[in-house]
């Protein structure tokens, strides 16, 4: 487990424990600056998977601006295919 995952778990456990300690989810969410939907998502994940459920596992967004146009991609693949077959 990397440091970022440990920080995610630590922060989210701190929020969940604070809510349990004071007994008020709304106040906890205001204090930590999160919405209640996020809190309950974390709580469900923790109850289902334990600490591993609290690791932030969102996929990286795809940056379409950096993508090469489809027709250029196809031409490059067409040019590379014979080279790959020769190397194999």
**Is residue 46 classed exposed, middle or buried when 0-12, 13-18 and 19+ CB atoms within 10 A define those classes?**
middle
Give the residue with greater pLDDT, 84 vs 26.
26
CA distance 21 to 29: 13
pLDDT of residue 87: 57
Under the banding of pLDDT at 50, 70 and 90, the label for residue 63 is: confident
Rounded to the nearest 10°, the torsion over CA 44, 48, 49, 51 is 40
CA neighbor of 42 nearest in space, from 17, 67, 65, 12: 12
pLDDT the model gives residue 82? 72
pLDDT at 38: 94
Q: What global pTM score does this model have?
A: 0.63
What are the tens digits of pLDDT across the range 4-50?
889 989 999 999 999 999 999 999 999 999 999 999 999 999 999 99
């Amino acid at each position: 487990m990397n440091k970022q995952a440990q920080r995610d778990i630590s922060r989210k456990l701190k929020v969940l424990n604070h809510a349990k300690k004071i007994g008020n989810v709304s106040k906890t969410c205001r204090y930590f600056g999160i919405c209640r939907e996020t809190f309950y998502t974390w709580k469900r994940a923790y109850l289902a998977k334990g600490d591993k459920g609290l690791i932030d596992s969102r996929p990286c967004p795809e940056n379409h601006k950096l993508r090469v146009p489809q027709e250029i991609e196809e031409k490059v693949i067409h040019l590379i295919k014979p080279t790959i077959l020769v190397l194999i």
